[in-house]
Structure 1
Amino acid sequence: MRYHVLAADYDGTLAKDGHVETSTVDALRRLRDSGRKLLMVTGRRLEPILDLFPDVSLFDRIVAENGALLFDPTTGEETLLAEPPPPEFAAELQRRGVNRLETGRCIVATWQPFETISLEVIREFAIDLHIIFNKDAVMLLPRW
């Protein structure tokens, strides 16, 4: 059986502590040169990936933000795959003292102990987000 596409997670699969080894990049290059397609999947926002990994052009697509954003490294085109929360949502979290906050195109992330405040604001805004815990991170993600 011949596989035509490799989809690989960034953290813990391609990268260790945010860094991709040269041997991994070489293996990805060989795979791509064999005619196969490469997809990177990650829960991270797109900007940190672009900052950390200079070889994104090896990939045909990057699925970022836990599946909420599709990025084409060749053209730079971004496609939202979920509805982003309103800008007032992140502003309200900050107003309530959430001082560690990252916003992507669709996802909002904070860290413990801000999960309770996050849930309160989700309910008050009546938006369809759910909370996923990833170590100490509190990911506020769109429902699919």
Structure 2
Amino acid sequence: MQYSVLATDYDGTLATEGAVDSATLTALERYRHRGGRLLLVTGRQLDELLEVFPHGHLFAGIVAENGGVFYQPAQGITRRLAEPLPPVLIDTLKARGVGPISQGQIVVATWEPHGETVEHTVRELALAATVIRNKKAVMVLPQGVNKASGLAVALADLGVEPAQVVGVGDAENDRSLLESSGLGVAVGNAVPELKALADRVMTGDRGAGVQELIAWLLTQA
């Protein structure tokens, strides 16, 4: 195949309301059967992802926490790809009424309407951190950590060049994933910003769009 790796977002891309349907799983298996390898590149925390998605074994690697964590399902090995943010961030956010707050191994996350407060707090504390939006989600990650940086680690593990990768997503935080892939793809329900920069836009939404993409990829052999 021209593209030997498919790197896909989870929520809003593979999954609908947190679940992946059987037709999409079948399409992923078909891609693997033809020699392709799969990477999952998600903003979700790893433990949470594995609870709702029991098919992690289909993937050669899982980049979680928007690039902060790399998990190798076959080996059961998890690597942190950055140092966690200092506790003062969460303490200050809580004092300013931000909540709920979710803390992963690396990411600190909350929801709108707290985005402006989070950005102000990061600036005020002079943290080497970046605030990343994902629709209504607001994530804080160490500077330089995003889906592109996590993908680079996963590709180095596989010994694959970015030109061989198709990256597919639906939201603002998928921008770096698409830009760092040989072919950037947006599913039909993607935000306009992502569709504008994508090399291809699928007509199908979420899993149906991924199925459509895989069917096209298998014709490019």
Task: Quote the offset at 1:135 in angstroms.
Answer: 2.2
Aligned twin of 2:196? none
Aligned twin of 1:81? 81
Q: Output the CA distance in 1 between the equivalents of 2:25 and 2:90.
A: 36
Identity in percent:
47
Q: Output the CA distance in 1 between the equivalents of 2:77 and 2:94.
A: 30
Runs of 4+ with deviation above 3 angstroms: none
Task: Quote the offset at 1:30 in angstroms.
Answer: 2.2
Task: Quote the offset at 1:35 in angstroms.
Answer: 2.5
Q: Output the CA distance in 2 between the equivalents of 1:14 and 1:135.
A: 16
Q: Output the CA distance in 1 between the equivalents of 2:37 and 2:134.
A: 28
- Aligned pairs for 1:13-52 within 5 A: 13-52=13-52
Higher helix share: 2
Structure scoring higher RCO (CA < 8 A, sep ≥ 6) equals 2
Residue 44 of structure 1 aligns to a residue whose secondary structure is coil
Unaligned runs of 5+ in 1: none
Aligned twin of 1:63? 63
Aligned twin of 1:121? 121
Per-residue Cα deviation, 1:51-85 (whole angstroms, up to 9, x for no partner)? 11111110010111111211111222112222320
Partner AA of 1:83 in structure 2: E
Aligned twin of 1:9? 9
Q: Output the CA distance in 2 between the equivalents of 1:49 and 1:115.
A: 23
Note if contact 2:84-2:107 (Cα within 8 Å) is conserved in structure 1: yes
Note if contact 2:85-2:141 (Cα within 8 Å) is conserved in structure 1: no
Task: Quote the offset at 1:36 in angstroms.
Answer: 1.9
Aligned twin of 1:72? 72
Residue 70 of structure 1 aligns to a residue whose secondary structure is strand
Q: For structure 1, which segment, 59-68 or 92-101, has the greater mean C-alpha deviation from structure 2 after superposition?
A: 92-101
Aligned twin of 2:189? none
Number of residue pairs the alignment of both structures matches = 144
* TM-score normalised according to structure 2 size: 0.59
Q: Output the CA distance in 2 between the equivalents of 1:46 and 1:131.
A: 20
Task: Quote the offset at 1:43 in angstroms.
Answer: 1.4
* TM-score normalised according to structure 1 size: 0.87
Task: Quote the offset at 1:111 in angstroms.
Answer: 1.4
Task: Quote the offset at 1:124 in angstroms.
Answer: 4.0
Q: Output the CA distance in 1 between the equivalents of 2:97 and 2:17.
A: 29
Partner AA of 1:82 in structure 2: A
Aligned-residue Cα RMSD (Å) equals 1.8
Aligned twin of 2:93? 93
Residue 23 of structure 1 aligns to a residue whose secondary structure is helix
Note if contact 2:109-2:138 (Cα within 8 Å) is conserved in structure 1: yes
Q: Output the CA distance in 2 between the equivalents of 1:143 and 1:89.
A: 14
